[in-house]
Amino acid sequence: MGNEQSAIDENTPTQTLDSRTVEAVGKYIKDGRAKRIVVMTGAGISTSAGIPDFRSPGTGLYANLQRLKLPYAEAVFTLDYFRNNPLPFYILAQELYPGQFRPTITHAFINLLNEKGILLKLFTQNIDCLEREAGVPDDKIIEAHGSFANQSCIDCKGSFPKDLMLKAINEKSVPHCLHKSPSGEPCDGLVKPNIVFFGEQLPGAFFDNRDLPSTADLIIVMGTSLSVAPFSQLPSFAHDGTPRVLINSEAVGGLGSRTDDVLMLGDCDGQVRKLAEACGWLEELEAMWAMTAPEKQPKSDKEKAKKSRDEQLQDEVNKLAQEIEENFRLEQAQYEWLDKHTDNKFAKVQEADTSEGDTDIATPIEEAHEANAGSSSALNPDAKKTDPSVGGLEHVFPHFASKSSL
């Protein structure tokens, strides 16, 4: 188990691990040899929480932004576009803002490493704050692309109250800076969460800590495509002989090319359970993750899955019933409008017949058909056009998810 699609010949000996398997990694940790673990994560660890990643075709965040009428999908995270039109970002932010999603068991595993005292640092590309909600302390997290945890003015860089930011996001309104200049003039600049937009520098904390992988005795990379620099360079900073574990849907970033690389390919939550079991921590991990469940949510996976399916079915039934009801209402309104409109037309034709003789009645009938074709929009001028290829964001960022990275 492990080492799927490794670039290393299976006969090549390891330097540090007993073998390139998850069992060997578990033994390495249980033996107390992994005291400084660096974890690197991307959007793939949050997709099972309901947050879409960014780049997956058809389901990723960028593929679901057409409804915001952006000039291009990435514009929502572009500072110049935000300055001119910040509202699309705040519409999106409402769907991705922390508090709506439960951390996954993978997030809980990172916190378990911290509780064991062996997490040196977590580097994450995610902006969803689920690591924090799982219990990982701030001082252990490097949010390479920022997050929703804090917010500030894009002009004066002054901080902004979190409660007012939450109010603005709930209302899909645009907050403005409350600070004043030394002369007393209000700044009134646009405020945004401290998410790294295109064209902005990564946080200083990232560069201050980017050498930590070289001091680690175990690297764990999870749920990232490792396609965006400089984050993608982090695993290469580990010394040869330092075990590197990749938990991901596919091999990425050259992992699998060193003697002590272990590839665990598949969904993150399932592979994390296997790693926890190899460490002898599975029950402890499940208990820790259960503590993140809302009170009304069933604690067991079996009950949770069953309820989730039932809820999804009920949601679909409710949605279908609403659509049928709305279609029936529109059809009834159409018929009433057409009856009245056609009666008026025929009344005018009969009047004309009485006073002027034969009259061609094709014209009012054709007009009635034309009215029928346009009546739906006439009856509901505010109705939004929908693109059947565009789904909801279920992250987000929203997971959005997304979220693999900005």
Residues classed as catalytic: 145
Q: Is the peptide bond before 396 cis (omega within 30 degrees of 0)?
A: yes
Virtual torsion, Cα 213, 223, 295, 61, nearest 10 deg: 120
What is the C-alpha to C-alpha distance for residues 17 and 133, in angstroms, rounded to an integer?
A: 33
What is the C-alpha to C-alpha distance for residues 5 and 8, in angstroms, rounded to an integer?
A: 9
**Is 308 known to sit in a ligand binding site?**
no
**Is 36 known to sit in a ligand binding site?**
no
**Is 54 known to sit in a ligand binding site?**
yes
Pairing of strands 146-153, 119-124: unpaired
**Is 201 known to sit in a ligand binding site?**
no
**Is 225 known to sit in a ligand binding site?**
yes
Helix (H) or strand (E) holding 293: none
All residues at 6 or more sequence positions from 96 whose CB lies less than 8 Å from its CB, including other chains: 51, 127, 128, 148, 393, 395, 396, 397, 398, 399, 400, 403
**Is 55 known to sit in a ligand binding site?**
yes
**Is 53 known to sit in a ligand binding site?**
yes
**Is 153 known to sit in a ligand binding site?**
yes
**Is 187 known to sit in a ligand binding site?**
yes
Q: Is the peptide bond before 230 cis (omega within 30 degrees of 0)?
A: yes
**Is 377 known to sit in a ligand binding site?**
no
Query: Are 212 and 229 a contacting pair, CB within 8 Å?
Result: no
SS3 state of residue 200: coil
**Is 46 known to sit in a ligand binding site?**
yes
What is the C-alpha to C-alpha distance for residues 90 and 336, in angstroms, rounded to an integer?
A: 40
**Is 43 known to sit in a ligand binding site?**
yes
Query: Are 160 and 371 a contacting pair, CB within 8 Å?
Result: no
**Is 209 known to sit in a ligand binding site?**
no
What is the C-alpha to C-alpha distance for residues 70 and 362, in angstroms, rounded to an integer?
A: 45
What is the C-alpha to C-alpha distance for residues 225 and 56, in angstroms, rounded to an integer?
A: 11
**Is 268 known to sit in a ligand binding site?**
yes
Query: CB burial class (10 A; 0-12, 13-18, 19+) of residue 366?
Result: exposed
Phi and psi at 152, nearest 5°, equal -160, 170
CA angle 3, 403, 225 (to 5 degrees): 35
**Is 257 known to sit in a ligand binding site?**
no
**Is 125 known to sit in a ligand binding site?**
yes
Q: In what order do the strands lie in the sheet with 261-265?
A: 141-143, 119-124, 37-41, 218-222, 244-248, 261-265
SS3 state of residue 233: helix
Residues belonging to the binding site are 43-47, 53-55, 125-128, 153, 156, 177, 187, 224-225, 248-250, 268
Residues belonging to the binding site for Zn(2+) are 153, 156, 177, 187
Residues belonging to the binding site for NAD(+) are 43-47, 53-55, 125-128, 224-225, 248-250, 268
